[in-house]
Amino acid sequence: MKTFVKLLLREFRQFSRNSVAMAVFLGGPVVFGLLVGYTYTNATVTNLPIAVVDLNGTPLSGKVIDALADNPTVGIRKVFTDETAARRAFATGDYEAIVTIPQDFEGAIQQRRTPEIEVDLNMANILTANFVSRAVQTTLGTVNAGIEVEGLLKRGVPAVEARNQFQAFSINNTRYFNAAGNYGYYMLPGVTGGIVQQVFLLVLALAFSKEFDEHTFDQLTEQTNRSGVVLLTKTLPYWLMGAGVWAFVLGFLFPLFRLPAIGSLPALLTLVAAFTLALTGLGVLVSLLVPNQLRATEILMILATPAFIISGYSWPASQMPAFVQHLAQAIPLTHYLSAFRKLYFLNAPLSTITPELRTLFGYGIGTLALAWGALAWKMRPAKPAQPALA
């Protein structure tokens, strides 16, 4: 029994000496629990962006617009009078829905011809699409009933009978960008991006920290004193192997699960290159600054663990607290998924993802520059020992 207690206490002491392990095991549930809790702090989403195309321009169409504006779930970002311009804007993914009021809306209702309001839903995010659809349907249904009941009452129809006969206009829902609402099409590409990020960071964490741990770093400096050459030879193999990883994901995994093809191959390859560069810079920088394999890996895994949840891919970033949104912007996966959604669901051209590409390339170049500086500092020649004074 004494031996058991002694070994038990020893294990506690061993654990207490590893500050990173203590932080992960004891602080992880607290930190990640709070982070996830704050991410979903707004259980009911509000102010999701929609646009209205008002081709009628009458007080009655204005009444419909006002009713939509009063619904807290959606927020009207713009009212278009040109349907072509609205379609172009919808194709960028900036709006969760487009509500189109037809040109003859008021006249058709007065003549009891039942005009049709078109609701186009952006199904690139199934969750937000469901919120928007329910909000728009509820609002238009209420307006519909009010218009019809008011008209019937003016014609002398008893109130009870009028309330049972409302259908001033019809509502037609059209789904775009994953029209079938397939959850596999929606989730698998996003989760795959998160997995690739973790894989890259996991192996890159060992790029230099393994050399320091095993005391083999001097073998590099004996071969060359040029830090740029060392940095390139340490990162290029991961790019070459990473190309195989991406080829498997995009060339085998996507077709295996019958995921739709991505429209612009050049845009996709550019995005993959930018994402890989950003991951390379982050992983190598941490590997240099934390010269211990285990700790470098732990630090990068702590960073990568909540990345998908706070990226805005599954839950709207606009519903998260500001500090969570800022944290998400510091993780490459957030920008990759934002651009990937446009390429995958909207078949957007390369020009549409320019902001994300600029961020990812800047992130990668910046972190690699810092890594280069840190490597040059570690490779600097040791100062010769001063001769002892007689």
Question: Is 48-176 a domain of CATH 2.40.170.20?
Answer: no
Enter the pTM of the model. Answer: 0.77
Exposure of 289 by Cβ count < 10 A (0-12 exposed, 13-18 middle, 19+ buried)?
A: middle
pLDDT for res 22? 62
pLDDT top residue among 197 and 218: 197
Instruction: Judge contact between 371 and 286, C-beta under 8 A.
Output: no
Q: What is the pLDDT of residues 114-150, one digit of tens each?
A: 888 899 998 888 888 888 888 888 888 888 777 655 5
Burial 48-80 (b: 16+ CB within 10 A, else e): bbbbbbbbbeeebbeebbeebeebebbebeebb
Least confident of 47-61, 274-288, 313-327, 359-373: 313-327
**How buried is 1 (Cβ within 10 angstroms: 0-12 exposed, 13-18 middle, 19+ buried)?**
exposed
Task: Check residue 4 and give its pLDDT.
Answer: 62
Task: Provide the mean pLDDT of the chain.
Answer: 80
Residue 96 has pLDDT above 80, yes or no: yes
Domain ranges of the chain: 48-176, 183-378
Mean pLDDT computed over 162-177: 65
